[in-house]
Chain A
Amino acid sequence: MSSHNESILREPLITGKDITYAKITDDILVPVENKPNKAWWIGFTIASLGALLWVVSVGYTFWTGIGAWGLNKTIGWAWDITDFVWWVGIGHAGTLISAVLLLFRQNWRNSINRSAEAMTIFAVICAATYVVAHMGRPWLAYWIFPLPNQFGSLWVNFNSPLVWDAFAISTYFTVSLVFWYCGLLPDIATVRDRATGLRQKIYGVLSFGWNGSVKSWQRFEIVSLILAGISTPLVLSVHTIVSMDFATSVIPGWHTTIFPPYFVAGAIFSGFAMVQTLLLILRKVMNFENYITMFHIESMNIIIMVTGSIVGVAYLTELFIAWYSGSEYEMYAFANRIAGPYWWAYWAMMTCNVISPQLFWFKKIRTSIPISWVLSIVVNIGMWFERFVIIATSLHRDYLPSSWAMFYPTWVDVGIFVGSIGLFFTLFLLFLRFLPAIAIAEVKMLLKSSSLQHKTKLVQEGAFPEEQVQYFADSLGKYDSVIEEDIKALKIK
């Protein structure tokens, strides 16, 4: 796939001069093959303190009971399931990037899929902890699976969306992990081949004996395709099923048929925002600017903008349907979201999710790294509020006004949430330290087709008409990794 010449109109996916296969390997393996720098240590210390907070908070909950949280007789889920859905949603980008974009032959995914998938796996781990932690008797969590047992004919309730959820999440986690690990195999083998001693042994085991033969590559490609095929429906199914945790209920604000597509769009939205948050820092700290380029950033921003708009339409549709239904409970639920005691959560959601991504219509904004980074965080704040609005504000005022109540989080609620972020970053930083953060093999595929130096070479050979070259040169203006000289090189002819 790298043998043909790509149109000059396409922006380059790799920038920089004198990029060779060896340089790619060297560049990407810098964090893996060297002692971590100060920044890593600082990040890791903070993240692991967060993870410790998580251990303390969850441990305290297990020790004393769910009463340690701010829940009550009316609001049986609040931060716990909000956080759960938030993490599952974040986990969506990874699969989308690795599977759907692979099937659609979006080559730019090659640079970001590895960390996006890692992010997915860690996010799903974080989400799964809530599944267990929110249970009254977590030590019995395995009852969710239809395991053969000695209790007689006890079986799970296949009508319950929570059972579907358990299947969906576990399937998703398994497939994502396998997909991610398969993709890692050639890269781990690369690390192995460059390492010595114990490291070589460990990476040797981890590489499952990858030998780089043609047959291996062929199988690798096929497996990737198959897994992409398996994963693609999962992208849709997981959050669809998560949304059914709410949609199949009778609670106004939950009982909504729009939830599946709306949740999936929201998940991709938040997932890409999280990828953006991570990669913008990653490319800077790890000097990956040549591999994760402005084109990647801009593409992701466009996805954020599109999915954000879908989410916005969903919000408005919900409002319309609530009014159109004529059901007083439904109408009240939405009026209460807008103007009830939790109005600030609703408007935080609206501002962060619907209004802020619209800023990406401006090229200046979507190609600005600091603004992109801030907005990516804003989006995830908004997506957290979206889940909070759906879960807590629907519950806090449902049918009988006598039971209406407010939710006030305790330190444990906050601790578990902040702690789960700590846990996530701990895992992610360990990933950066021990595994290549960019898919080396896949990026190499782009070198001979989509890299700036290759295109420059073709331009210099006069392979393209003048105006196309000019267009190409103009599009390079936004790249922070492209210097004057690179552009001048194009204009020599």
Chain B
Amino acid sequence: MSSNKKYWKGLEELQQTPAFVKGSKSEFAEPIPVEDVLNEAGLSTKTPRRDFLKALGFGLGAVTLAACERTPVHKAVPYVIKPEEITPGIPNFYASTFNGQSVLVRTREGRPTSISANPNSIGLNQGTDATTAAAVLDLYDMSKLENPKLDGQDVDWKKLDATVIAALEKAAAAGKKITVVSNTVNSPSTLAALAKLGAKYPTTSHVQVDPVSYSGIIEANRVSFGKAVVPTYHLKNANVVVSVAADFLGTWVAGEEHTQDYIKNRDYKSLKNGKMSRHIQFESGLSMTGSNADVRIAIKPSEEGAVLISLYNAITGQSLAGGVSNKKAQTAIALAAKELTNLKGAALVVAGSNDVNVQLLVNAINSNLGAYGDIIDLDNYSKQHQGSDAAFQEFLKSAAAGQVGVAMFLNSNPVYDYFKSEDVKAALAKVDFTLSFSDRSDETASELKAIAPTCSFLEAWGDSSSREGYYSVVQPTINLIFNTRQAEQSLLVWSGDTISIHDFVKQNWEQNILAGTGKAWKDVLQAGFIYKGTEKGGAYTAQVDINSVTTAVVANGKAITGEVELKLYESTGMRDGRYANNAYLQELPDPVSKVTWDNYAAINPKFAEEIGVSENGTVKIEANGYEVELPVLMQPGQALGTISVAVGYGRTKVGKAGNNVGKNAYPFARLANGTVQFESKATVAKAGKTYELAQTQTHHTIEGRNIIRETSFAKYLKDPNSESGRFADSHKTYDLWNKYESPGHKWVMAIDLNACTGCGSCIVACNVENNIPVVGRDEVRRRREMHWLRIDRYYTLESTNGKLTEEKLIAKDADLDYEDVTVVHQPMLCQHCDHAPCETVCPVLATVHSSEGLNHMAYNRCFGTRYCANNCPYKVRRFNWFNYWNDSRFDNYLNNEFTQLVLNPDVTTRSRGVMEKCSMCIQRIQSGKLQAKMENRKLKDGDVKVACQEACSANAIIFGDLNDPESEVSKALRNERVYYVLEEINVQPNIGYMTKVRNTFEA
């Protein structure tokens, strides 16, 4: 039924007004001015449509043009087929070996990013030295060769192999010698490969020579015991150590291993048991080892032998001629001898000299002290230094005589590091075919006909046996990066063997090393090492003709006696110079002098005054027919009339970072008694140039401040709180600050000043872990090094007027001879203060406190007012003055995509204008927490190890959770020795330091 209801929308519709009727017919209620716009009149409106179209056209064109720039391609490609063992973001660890130490290599998505000690290993199983911590950078070194070279031209391996094989065959046919010259080789598989070459070409011989030679010890042991070896030293069994110029904690024999053992008798755990060893050092320059000694006597290099003769006399009651005449030394020797005799069986004497007779004398003393067995192990001897100076001289002689057909250099660079470089060059010119396995065109390789570049140990299969009975593996952690070939593989190829190096190493292990152990190759790859030696060495008695030895020692001493005596030494970071292109090591401050990027003439300030040179001056040093001009370093503790110069500098063909850094000091060495020796007489003259060394620390005393607290062992025994101020009467403090609660974890650190030797491997490990840029010499001079962790080193000078720590007293003291100095090393890093002064002053809250007690730094939020750094009482904040990691002016190493692969992907790189500082490896804390969470358990002590702690072989840095009362750090911080630096300003730092304890005689 239809409805008669009518719906209307408005009165107009209801009434049907004419306007409505008209309007309802058109689509739009009001007419749209289409016509107006489209006709000619439209062009004269305010914005004519043509103009609109013009603007539209231009805009479109401009946008199109602007869009023409190619979008940068970021090469982040997900795995199409993911390797089973790789999870992006989760590191893999592989056991390998570096310099004889079993290590773990951390890889991320197939690229190695850091190296740490294999904690299960024997020997050095905790911490690494600086070179090991830095080694990962060498993998990404742009200065390496990408292809084999023949006559300076890139060739392919086929051509090179043909040429080499032809040369080998020619030499063999002519009956000429084929010599492989190498540094110490202790790798069983390398030796096996060399043996293969020897089997194919019977005239092959292998000569080992080390830039820093231990021939003297080897020869002395051959004479005394019939064992031509460098022994293993177990310092943990020595309660008293007398060192005559041996830097045994640093560069001598196996410094890091010694450190680990030595500290066991000196750290907080040992002190807790009321035990501390005594260490007496006689030396010319202030070495790192000397800086840690309880008693240190400055002597001239020519007195080294005399000191040992006096010591021998004092111990045995004999009165051989030639003892030391230096009064201070005499007193110290008398006391030392008493101590040594009292502690027979737990006493050790070591000497750094490479003179056979000096070492024979040392053997006689040690034999008398009963050190062979527990302390000096001749059975499980060290195989790290096997070079023979005599063998190399023999090689040079036969080469010069034209008897050598082929000479190959494996890990050896004698043109640089042999003291008579010209002799080496001349001899090589007479060799028909020369080849180097060097990974770069170094000083020697560039002189040779061919270079068969070997790869980094991180790309190689191999092994090592740094100690008799101890074997560790080297396994690759990345594919070959360049067109290089492992030296062993080359040797095999040239021997006509087609076996792959992996199979060869495996075979060698299975046949010669694993046989009878019940272990398989896979087990070794997992464990990283195998030990077949005995627990301890047997007792030996030295056979020494003491009279002729002392006569020779006296004669050798006379030969180097002069107005000025020169001592060469290896520096802790640079060592013999092979790592000269490693920017991390170049920028690692010397533990004592804090100099980076240079070697220098270390001179006693008083002696410098005598010869008229001042700071930032230079001197010309002449010795053994070689002259060089070096900047002067005022070195307290340096014996008067002596100069110390580090070898390992002055490389010319090592790469961008290391070329022409410092001056080569090897030519100062001299040959005496058949060994290369680093002591000689010299002349020195003021050269008058100005040269500023790049030091990270330029003020050297504590100015009487209690930032360093130290006591003597005797006082400590009476009162463990001695000098720590720990339980002094506390006064009431008032606080304006909020208290930060740390309900979960509270990350803190304890640093044992008695354990820290100052070596600096923590600094390098921190650099590697946290992508800290190397800034170069000029920036260090401007005091802008970026190290998050530094080691402050302070001197106390001793004179007849007492112990001086204040600049103005030192300047006034006329009696001061700057020879008697005590040293303390203090690692300094962000203290993560609970009342952090940096946090309150940041205008934008870029640095804030975490609920776990950490002081966070939000790089993205920082706009760089630097107020936080100014207000930091510890001055541990570092500002990015430039875009260091990507600025061509700081092109030490990192300004290319290849080397940037070394960057740890867990840590962001910081841009210019941003503050940074120690984060306590927050990325490691985070991953430790995540790991625990995934395993559904609580985080336990030791799950998280920060990089510096991991690198410290002295266990001087203890990190952990204070909220866990059983954690190592909690226990350590309950120690009576703990104090906090600058605690009086109530910033409430979270890093506790333990007093330095010296086991001095006087006490």
A interface, CB within 8 angstroms of B: 64-67, 70-74, 76-77, 134-138, 140-141, 143-144, 154-157, 159-163, 166, 245, 248-251, 328-329, 332, 395, 397-405
Contacts and interface: CB of A to CB of B under 8 A. Distances in A.
Contacts of A135: 863-865, 913
Interface in B440-456: none
Contact of A157 (B844, B866, B870, B879): B844
Contacts of B698: 404-405
9 contacts: A74-B783, A76-B866, A76-B867, A135-B863, A143-B843, A157-B842, A161-B841, A328-B704, A328-B705
Contacts of A143: 843-844, 861, 863
Contact of B865 (A162, A398, A401, A402): A162
A328 B705 CA distance: 8
Interface stretch (B462-470, B500-508, B880-888, B932-940): B880-888
A245 B877 CA distance: 19
Contact of B882 (A67, A70, A328): A67
B913 A162 contact: no
Contacts of A140: 863
Interface string B847-874: 0000000000000011111110111011
Contacts of B843: 143-144, 156-157, 160, 162-163, 166
Contact of B784 (A72, A136, A141, A402): A72
A66 B845 contact: no
Given A72-B782, A137-B862, A400-B874, A249 B913 contact: no
A157 B839 CA distance: 9
B421 interface: no
B914 A137 contact: yes
B785 interface: yes
Given A144-B844, A405-B783, A65 B912 contact: yes
B701 interface: yes
A487 to B, nearest CB: 59
Contact of B985 (A77, A161, A250): A250
Contacts of B914: 136-137
B881 A71 contact: yes
Contacts of A136: 862-866, 879-880, 912-915
B832 to A, nearest CB: 16
B783 A154 contact: no
B875 A159 contact: no
A66 B703 contact: no
B873 A251 contact: yes
Contacts of A250: 837, 871, 873, 985, 987
B695 to A, nearest CB: 10
B611 to A, nearest CB: 26
Contacts of A137: 862-864, 911-914
Contacts of B125: none
A138 B844 CA distance: 13
A102 B844 CA distance: 39
A72 B875 CA distance: 11
Nearest to A69: B881
B524 interface: no
B707 interface: yes
Contacts of B974: none
A154 B845 contact: yes
A226 B840 CA distance: 36
Nearest to A327: B984
**10 residue pairs, one from A and one from B, having the closest CB atoms:** A136-B864, A136-B913, A67-B881, A76-B866, A402-B792, A72-B783, A403-B875, A162-B843, A137-B913, A404-B699
Contacts of B704: 328
Contacts of A144: 843-844, 863
A307 B884 CA distance: 46
A64 B889 CA distance: 10
Contacts of B877: 73
Nearest to A67: B881
B390 interface: no
B881 A65 contact: yes
Contacts of B701: 401
B372 interface: no
Interface string B894-931: 00000000000000000111110000000000000000
A65 B871 CA distance: 21
Contacts of A67: 779, 784, 881-882, 912
A400 B870 contact: no
A137 B865 CA distance: 9
Contact of A77 (B702, B866, B878, B913): B866
Given A66-B881, A401-B702, A403-B875, 8 more contacts: A66-B913, A71-B879, A140-B863, A156-B843, A399-B707, A399-B873, A401-B794, A403-B697
Nearest to A162: B843
A65 B866 CA distance: 13
Nearest to B981: A400
Contacts of A72: 782-784
A65 B915 CA distance: 13
Contacts of A77: 866-867, 870
B160 interface: no
A133 to B, nearest CB: 11
Contact of B873 (A65, A166, A400): A400
B882 A76 contact: no
A73 B879 contact: yes
B828 interface: yes
Contacts of A70: 782
A257 to B, nearest CB: 14
A71 B913 CA distance: 13
B996 interface: no
Nearest to A74: B875
B982 interface: yes
B845 A400 contact: no
B793 interface: yes
Nearest to B808: A339
Nearest to B889: A64
B833 to A, nearest CB: 10
Interface-central residue, A67, A159, A245, by most chain B CB under 10 Å: A67
Contacts of B915: 136
Interface-central residue, A144, A163, A401, by most chain B CB under 10 Å: A401
Contacts of B982: 399-400
Contacts of A395: 870
Given A76-B879, A160-B841, A163-B843, A251 B871 contact: yes
Contacts of A245: 867
B863 A155 contact: no
Contacts of B705: 328-329, 399, 401
Contacts of B883: 65
B871 A249 contact: yes
A256 to B, nearest CB: 14
A166 B867 CA distance: 14
A137 B860 CA distance: 10
Interface-central residue, A138, A143, A161, by most chain B CB under 10 Å: A143
Given A162-B841, A250-B987, A402 B866 contact: no
B768 to A, nearest CB: 20
Nearest to B883: A65
Contacts of A398: 873, 875
Nearest to B914: A136
A402 B700 CA distance: 7
A492 to B, nearest CB: 68
